A and B are shown apart, each in its own frame.
Chain A
């Protein structure tokens, strides 16, 4: 079975602070993919990143960075110098061959960035 845990339900930070969103996953697949999606208040789901299980390189995209560690089954997401526009719900998700590569989502972390 696959499972994604986002232990942080809500996080509130002041603008310009750094914030890390945690994601821990469980899977029996040897090949799997991890994702982060953003859902702003407008409701649409925005793809942020995909990482496959064979690529543990960390990735940085502007103010966003992701830390993938297979040893701890974690795929954490850090926003540096947060901005009000970063306020959204962020979902971590996992897909693997056993589920036909359908995404299993965590329950999401609601991030509020205040001025």
Chain B
């Protein structure tokens, strides 16, 4: 089983719908991240969390919210999806002892029509 699991892996939805992408990890890491990947733009940070009570906005947090339900779970929500949120979303984890090295999930491809 993957250490960092994202669900769903693929999702097609319509404009205005609420969408939640979930991430769970078995690595025991304290830090979790959500990134978005668009062709030609690399990966951009949406939100990150250092522990359950510590949530931080990244470069492109507008239109997104997150919830850190437990150390192992970090979900990303789109309250009202729009077409330009169509992208590949990655969850990642890291340990404070392995500063900066991220362990990525397999990605969630979201299409907003």
Contacts and interface: CB of A to CB of B under 8 A. Distances in A.
Interface stretch (A12-20, A62-70, A71-79, A104-112): A104-112
Contacts of B106: 43-44
Chain B contact surface mostly: strand
Given A9-B40, A106-B42, A45 B100 contact: no
A70 B106 CA distance: 33
Given A105-B42, A106-B42, A44 B100 contact: no
B100 A103 contact: yes
Contacts of B31: 101
Contacts of B45: 102-104
Taking residues whose C-beta sits less than 8 angstroms from the other chain, chain B's interface range is 20 to 34
Contact of B43 (A6, A43, A44, A91): A91
A87 interface: no
B104 A95 contact: no
Given A43-B106, A101-B99, A101-B100, A107 B40 contact: yes
* Prevailing SS type, chain A contact patch: loop
Interface string A11-34: 000000000000000000000010
Interface of B: 31, 33, 35, 40-45, 48, 50, 56, 58-59, 88, 90, 92, 94, 99-104, 106-107
25 contacts: A9-B40, A43-B88, A43-B106, A44-B104, A45-B90, A45-B102, A47-B102, A47-B103, A50-B100, A91-B43, A95-B100, A101-B31, A101-B94, A101-B100, A102-B33, A102-B56, A102-B58, A103-B43, A103-B92, A103-B102, A104-B59, A105-B43, A105-B44, A106-B42, A107-B41
Interface of A: 6, 9, 33, 35, 43-45, 47, 50, 91, 95, 100-108
